[in-house]
Amino acid sequence: MADGARRATMTTVARALGVSPSTVSNAYNRPDQLSADLRARVLATAARLGYAGPDPVARTLRHGRTGAIGLVYDEPLSFSFTDPAAVLCLRGVAAACERHAVGLTLVPRLPAGAPDLVGTALVDGLVLYCLPADDDRLRVARERGLPVVAVDSPRPPLAPAVTVDDRGGARAAARHLLDLGHRRVAVVAERLAADGWEGTAPRARQDANPYDGTRERLAGYRDAWEAAGLDWDAVRVEERAPYGRDAGRRAARDLLADRPTAVLAMSDELALGVLDAAAARGLRVPGDLSVVGFDDTPSAAAAGLTTVAQPHLEKGAAAARLLLDLPGGAAAPPPLPTRLVVRTSTAAS
Amino acid sequence: MADGARRATMTTVARALGVSPSTVSNAYNRPDQLSADLRARVLATAARLGYAGPDPVARTLRHGRTGAIGLVYDEPLSFSFTDPAAVLCLRGVAAACERHAVGLTLVPRLPAGAPDLVGTALVDGLVLYCLPADDDRLRVARERGLPVVAVDSPRPPLAPAVTVDDRGGARAAARHLLDLGHRRVAVVAERLAADGWEGTAPRARQDANPYDGTRERLAGYRDAWEAAGLDWDAVRVEERAPYGRDAGRRAARDLLADRPTAVLAMSDELALGVLDAAAARGLRVPGDLSVVGFDDTPSAAAAGLTTVAQPHLEKGAAAARLLLDLPGGAAAPPPLPTRLVVRTSTAAS
DNA sequence: CCTAGCATCTGCAACGTTTCAGAAGCGCCC
DNA sequence: GGGCGCTTCTGAAACGTTGCAGATGCTAGG
C-alpha cells in the first residue's frame, strides 16, 4: 500500500513498531520466539508498509545457501534444448530440484571473452552436462569451491559424475549389426572435439575426443569390431558439426556413396538424419540399409529406429540428488544401464 | 592451494598483503584504480590463498542485482518440458538471457503447502508462462516488487505480457474447416481450469477459463462459427487433463463416436493424439476426418498436420527482453502474429 | 618554493539479514 | 523471600562486498 521512496526493510518495520529488528526476523523465521500477539502486529505492520518478508539475497548471504543449483551446457542453451536427449535430462534434474524445493539455474555460455557466468552464478552446486574434459568452467567451479557433478562428461577422476554404460550400449549396438551379417558398416559421429571440424575422423582424433561419453561409445563399437576379429581402422567414422539431424543427413549423404549395408549413428538425432538421407537416395530401410541410433528418444521410437536406450530422466535426477542429498559431495554411483532396443530399422545384410 | 579452515575472503587477502580490502576489491572491479604492480600482487596472493574472486552473493547484496531472471510454469517443471511448445519458448527466453549475459532460473512449483519459491528466488524479474489469471504467484512476485512479464497468460491488464494473436489464429483454423464444408466439428481442449476436471465443457466453463491464451483460442473458434451463422453451443468441446498427447487420444476416442467430420485441437500435442485415435479406429485422415492443431511444433510438421503457427522462440525472447532491456518494465508490445499452415490433415468434407 | 593536480591507496558506512548471548519480567516452589 | 526456570524481547556482531569521501605523496607548472 504505502510505497515510500525506498522499499521497506526489516529495520523499517521494526522501527515503525518500536521493536528490535531481531523480533521482526523472529516473526518470520521463529514464530515460537515471540508472543502470538506481537507476531500478528509485526505481520500487520509489514503488510501496511508493503514489506514482503526477508530479502532473499541478504538471507542467502547470512545463511551461505542460495537454494538453487546450476546447470551448465557445453553449447548455448537455445541450441542445447534442440536435442531431445538434453531436454529429457533437464527434466530429470528439474524433477529432483522440485522434490528438494530448490531452484534450477541454467547458466548460459557466453561468447568467448565475456566473464564467465559460472564464476558468478548464485548457486550451491553445479551439474555439468557433456563438457569436454579440459573445460575451463570445471576449473572455475572448483576454484569457487562449488560442488560439482558431471553428466556424460567429464568422468571421474576428472570430476564426480553420473555415468551411463555408453560403452556397453555401443558394443551391443555394433554386435547387433555384426550378428545380422553386416560388415560394410559406417559410423556417423557428432563432434569429437570443440573445433567445428568435419570429415572422416582418423583414429587419433577418435582417441583424443575430450567428450568422455561419446569417446566411450566409439570405444564400444570398436570393442565389438575387434572381438569379431575385424579391423576397426577400416571403418569410416564420419564426423559432423554442429550437432543435429541435419548433421546426420549431411554425413549420410557422403557416406552412402560407399554403399555401406549399415550405419551406426552415435545418437538418435543423427540417426534420424541418416534415415532422411537414405530416403532421399531411394534406399529402403532396413532392406537396403540398416540404421542403429543411440538414446531412444520419443521420435526415434516413433520412427521405428533400433537404438540403445539409456535412462535420461534418471541420469539427470541422480546428478541433482548427488548435489542435494549429501552437501559434502557423495561418491559417484555405478554406471546406469543401457539396453539395445531392436525395432524395424535393422535387418540381416 | 592452501585450503585453510575457512574459505578465503577479500579481507583475508587484504590482510595477507597488508593492504585495505577496498584495494583488493578494486583489483577485481576497477583495475584503473591501482597500480598494475600492486594489482598483480593482489591477484597472486589471492591465487596463493585459494581466493576465487568476490563472492557473488555479497556482491549481489551490495549491488541489488542478481544477474538472473526467473521462469515460472503453471505445472511442475518436469511435466512442462513434456510440451514441445514450452521447450521452444524456453529456448527463446534462454537465447535472450545468453545475449544479455544473464542467468535463467527455473522456479519450481512446490507441492501445495510448501513456502513458495517465487517468494525467495534470487532473480531480478520473472517470466510467467501460462499461469491462470488468479495465480498466487503473480501476487507474491508483485509484493516482492519484482518486474514481471507474462507469456500466453495472464494478459494485460492483469500483468504486462507478451501476447500472441491466439484468437485470430484460432479463427483462421475454424474458418478453414468451414470453408472446406465441415459442419459436424468437435473441439479437443486442454484444461480450462486448474481443477483436473474432464468432460464436455459447457459454455460457462469455456468463458470462465482463467488461462487467457486458451480462452482466446476458443473465442476465436467461436468467432468463425458465429460469423458463419452457426450455433456455437452445438459444438462439443471435449476437455481432458493433464495435458499431453494421451489427453488428445482419450478425448478423440469419446468424440469420434459422434462421427464428426473434423476436429479442432487446441494444440498440436492434442492433435497428434487425435490422429492416433483416428488411426486406431481405422479412420483415414483427411479422407474420413480432418484435423487442425495449434502451435506448429516440429512433430506436427513431420506428421503433415494442418495447424496454426505462432513464433514460439520470438515469444520467449520478447518476454525476456522486456524484463532485461528496460529495468523499469516496458509497455506490452503488440500481439505477435499467428498463421494458418495448411498441410495434409485437412480436406473437403 | 608554493600549489594545483594526479595517481594511489585507505576507512567507514552501508547492503538486509540472522544468530547468540544475555536481560528483563514473572510465576512458582520450598 | 530467595532461587530457579521460563517466556519474551534486545543489542551487537557477523555475512563479504562496494562506493565514496578523503588522505598521502609525487610531479609539474608558475
Whether residues B30 and B154 share a domain: the answer is: no
Whether residues A203 and A304 share a domain: the answer is: yes
Domain harbouring B49, CATH code: 1.10.260.40
CA dist A89 and A91 (Å) reads 5
Task: Give the model's pLDDT for residue B227.
Answer: 98
pLDDT tens per residue across span A205-218: 999 999 999 999 99
What stretches in chain B show pLDDT beneath 70? 1-5, 326-331
Judge if the beta carbon of B67 is closer than 7 A to nucleic acid strand D.
Answer: no
**Residue of chain B minimizing CA distance to A72:** B103
What nucleotides of chain C have any atom within 7 angstroms of a protein Cβ? 7-12, 14-20
CB A234 within 8 A of CB A221: no
Task: Give the model's pLDDT for residue A117.
Answer: 96
Whether residues B213 and B246 share a domain: the answer is: yes
Mean confidence (pLDDT) of chain A: 95
Task: Give the model's pLDDT for residue A62.
Answer: 97
Which CA distances in Å does A115 have to A77, A105, A109, A224? 17, 17, 10, 44
Query: Residue B35 belongs to what domain range?
Result: 10-55
State the DSSP string of A257-297.
Answer: GG--SEEEESSHHHHHHHHHHHHHTT--TTTT-EEE-SB--
Judge if the beta carbon of B55 is closer than 7 A to nucleic acid strand D.
Answer: yes
Cross-chain Cβ contact B68/A122 below 8 Å: yes
CA of A270 to C1' of D23 (A): 67
Peptide bond into A154 cis (omega under 30): yes
Which CA distances in Å does B100 have to A108, B28, B94, B323? 10, 21, 10, 11
Q: Check whether A1 has a pLDDT greater than 50.
A: no
pLDDT tens per residue across span A302-313: 999 999 999 999
Whether residues B175 and B283 share a domain: the answer is: yes
* Spatial CA neighbour of B343 closest among B275, B280, B293, B270: B293
Q: Is residue A140 part of a domain?
A: yes
What mean pLDDT is predicted for residues A169-183? 98
Whether residues B172 and B307 share a domain: the answer is: yes
Domain harbouring B91, CATH code: 3.40.50.2300
Whether residues A204 and A275 share a domain: the answer is: yes
Residue B181 CB coordination number (10 Å): 12
Task: Give the model's pLDDT for residue B328.
Answer: 55
Task: Give the model's pLDDT for residue A329.
Answer: 53
Whether residues A207 and A101 share a domain: the answer is: no
Q: How many domains does chain A have?
A: 3
| Chain B closest-CA separation from residue A346 CA (Å) | 22
All three cell numbers of B177: 474447416
CA dist B54 and B28 (Å) reads 8
Judge if the beta carbon of B52 is closer than 7 A to nucleic acid strand D.
Answer: no
Whether residues A179 and A285 share a domain: the answer is: yes
Whether residues B173 and B151 share a domain: the answer is: no
Please indicate if any CB of chain B lies within 8 Å of the CB of A181: no
Q: Check whether A122 has a pLDDT greater than 70.
A: yes
CB A7 within 8 A of CB A57: no
Please indicate if any CB of chain B lies within 8 Å of the CB of A78: yes
Contacts of A148 in chain B (CB under 8 A): none
pLDDT tens per residue across span A77-101: 999 999 999 999 999 999 999 999 9
| Chain A closest-CA separation from residue B317 CA (Å) | 10
CA atoms within 13 A on the CB side of A120: 20
Contacts of B144 in chain A (CB under 8 A): 52-53
CA atoms within 13 A on the CB side of B83: 25
CB A64 within 8 A of CB B54: no
CA dist A67 and A59 (Å) reads 11
Q: Is residue B329 part of a domain?
A: no
Q: Which residues touch strand C (CB under 7 A)?
A: A 6-7, 9-11, 21-22, 25-26, 28-30, 51, 53-55, 58-59, 61-63; B 18-23, 26, 32-35, 38-39, 58, 61-62, 64
Q: Check whether A10 has a pLDDT greater than 70.
A: yes
Task: Give the model's pLDDT for residue B61.
Answer: 98
* Spatial CA neighbour of A342 closest among A179, A176, A185, A189: A176
Task: Give the model's pLDDT for residue B2.
Answer: 42
Q: Check whether A37 has a pLDDT greater than 80.
A: yes
Whether residues A281 and A177 share a domain: the answer is: yes
